[in-house]
Amino acid sequence: MNRLLHNVGALAALSITLSVIWTPWIAVVTLCVLCVWLTRQVTQRDEAAQQLLREPTAVPRPFAEVMATVRSTLKESAQHLKDRDAEIAQRKQITNAVPDGLFLLDAGGRIVWCNQAALVMHSLDAFRDMGKPIAQLVRAPEFAAYLEDDSLPEPVITLGGRTLLFHLERSDGNGNSGARLLLTRDVTEREKLDRMRRDFVANVSHELRTPLTVVGGFVETLTDLPLEEPERTRYLHLIATQTGNMQRLVEDLLTLARMENDQLPPETSLTDVSQIARDVLADAEALSSGAHTFVASIEPAQVLGSAFELRSALGNLLSNAVRYTPAGGRITLTVKGGETVIVEVNDSGAGIAAEHIPRLTERFYRIDRSRSRETGGTGLGLAIVKHVAQRHRAKFEIESIVQGSSNEPHGSTFRLRIPGVP
């Protein structure tokens, strides 16, 4: 500032000197007015710069120094804004990565903000639905009641085929004027697992209760009544049969639990599938006791896998065929080698309706519970086959033709496609 004043003064002195030689008074007045105007302009600019820097008590400084300070301050402010934008983008990325839906609601329950998961979970539009009351978008009486009183139990509501859990967090009172955070979590799979667990416990209890009741009744009869030897022998045979049913059920449960809990792949030893097929075929013929006709076509076939698990899978397929094929029926076992080993069990039973086929591999799923009880099956055989197939990267296929009124072919085919060893 001082340098500018000195320059203006030097210019004024030079102008006065020249005006004495040239045009005395007009030049003097003109130059004086110009100097006053320039001085005023520079003074106003310096004061504005000092006010911008919020330094009202600053001592006079050169204008170049003031502008350098202004530029430095503007650069720092731009960097600060850039850092804030990066932080906001990072927080937005984090909230969008959260699998749960997050809503920020105002005191009136209107949506102030939500993350991407909330938009997808509730099929919302970020522009259309923002600012609307959440109760208008999630229409459920128990949810509306929970919004009014969060002391109520957290509602679990089924919407659009999915089960959602809602949790509400009140504001901490730091100037948010009643803002609330609403969390919505998709618990469809959890509810499905809970339902499966309840069904599993109920089914196991039912399957064990029946043979235990029979065994208990026969033991009580043998203990309390004087029976003839043939009748006593018959009762002991029935007890042994029911005990065998319980033993098979427990063994199947243990096998299924081991495969479900074992995250490691099965052993990769070279396994002769054709020899396993011959062994389980002999067991099936013994189980049939001559009631069925067996036809086998077994080619040499080898795979990398667990001989124990593959034997369990093939044994369950053949034992099911024996149990569910009427006496006099035909059971065919086919093994084809190659890059893909195909194991196929075909029976001439009554067939399975198409609506039941997708659920056959569920544990304890019964098409006809009374018939299953008569055959002595545990209801776990096909579930075990499915897990063995998954662990061996195999494909499990089921085809069936229901028996009609005519003499058309009918029966079921269960097929395993296992990666083979060339």
DSSP string, 239-282: HHHHHHHHHHHHHHHHHHHHHHH--SPPP-EEEEHHHHHHHHHH
Q: Which fold has domain 98-186?
A: Beta-Lactamase (3.30.450)
pLDDT at 57: 47
Yes or no: say if 316 and 382 are a contact pair by the CB < 8 Å rule.
Answer: yes
CA distances from 316 to 169, 368, 385 (A): 52, 18, 7
pLDDT at 261: 75
Q: Tell me, rounded to whole angstroms, the distance of Cα 208 from its chain centroid.
A: 34
β pairing state of 330-336 and 293-298: parallel
User: At residue 271, what are phi and psi to the nearest 5 degrees?
Assistant: -120, 135
Yes or no: say if 400 and 411 are a contact pair by the CB < 8 Å rule.
Answer: yes
pLDDT at 56: 45
* pTM of this prediction exceeds 0.85: no
Using CB atoms within 10 A of its CB, is residue 343 exposed (0-12), middle (13-18) or buried (19+)? Answer: buried
Q: Which of 277, 378, 382 is nearest to 332 (CA)?
A: 277
Query: Would you write out the chain's pLDDT as a tens digit for each of its 422 residues?
Result: 555 556 656 666 666 666 666 666 656 666 676 677 777 777 777 666 666 555 544 445 566 776 777 788 888 888 888 888 887 777 777 777 788 888 988 888 899 888 888 888 888 888 888 889 988 888 888 988 898 887 888 888 888 778 899 988 876 555 456 788 899 998 888 888 787 777 777 777 777 777 788 788 888 888 888 878 888 888 888 888 888 878 877 888 888 788 877 766 666 788 999 999 999 999 899 888 889 999 999 999 999 988 888 999 999 999 889 988 988 899 999 999 889 999 999 998 888 888 888 888 887 777 765 554 555 566 788 988 999 999 889 999 999 988 775 567 788 999 999 998 86
Yes or no: say if 165 and 146 are a contact pair by the CB < 8 Å rule.
Answer: no
Which residue type is seen at 362? E
- Torsion sign (Cα): 119, 124, 130, 134: negative
Q: Which of 403, 400, 402, 399 is nearest to 416 (CA)?
A: 399
Yes or no: say if 45 and 64 are a contact pair by the CB < 8 Å rule.
Answer: no
pLDDT at 174: 54
Alpha carbons 75 and 287: distance in angstroms, whole number: 88
CB atoms within 10 A of CB 116: 16
Which residue type is seen at 409? P
Tokens linked to 72: 């430095």
pLDDT at 82: 85
pLDDT at 22: 60
Look-up of token digits 């040499």: 300
Q: Which fold has domain 191-263?
A: Helix Hairpins (1.10.287)
Alpha carbons 405 and 13: distance in angstroms, whole number: 128
Pick the CATH number of 265-422 from 3.30.420.40, 3.40.50.720, 3.40.1350.10, 3.30.565.10: 3.30.565.10
Calculate Rg over the CA atoms of the chain. 44
Which residue type is seen at 84? R
pLDDT at 24: 63
User: At residue 311, what are phi and psi to the nearest 5 degrees?
Assistant: -65, -40
| Helix, strand, coil percentages in the chain from 3-state DSSP, rounded to 5 | 55, 20, 30
pLDDT at 302: 92
Q: Which of 244, 246, 255 is nearest to 209 (CA)?
A: 246
pLDDT at 19: 62
Phi/psi region, residue 406 (left: phi>0; alpha: psi -120 to 50; beta: rest), is beta
Using CB atoms within 10 A of its CB, is residue 134 exposed (0-12), middle (13-18) or buried (19+)? Answer: buried
Domains of the chain by residue range: 2-88, 98-186, 191-263, 265-422
pLDDT at 15: 65
Q: Which of the 8 DSSP states describes residue 90?
A: H
Strand boundaries in 87-243, DSSP class E: 101-105, 111-114, 156-159, 162-169, 180-186
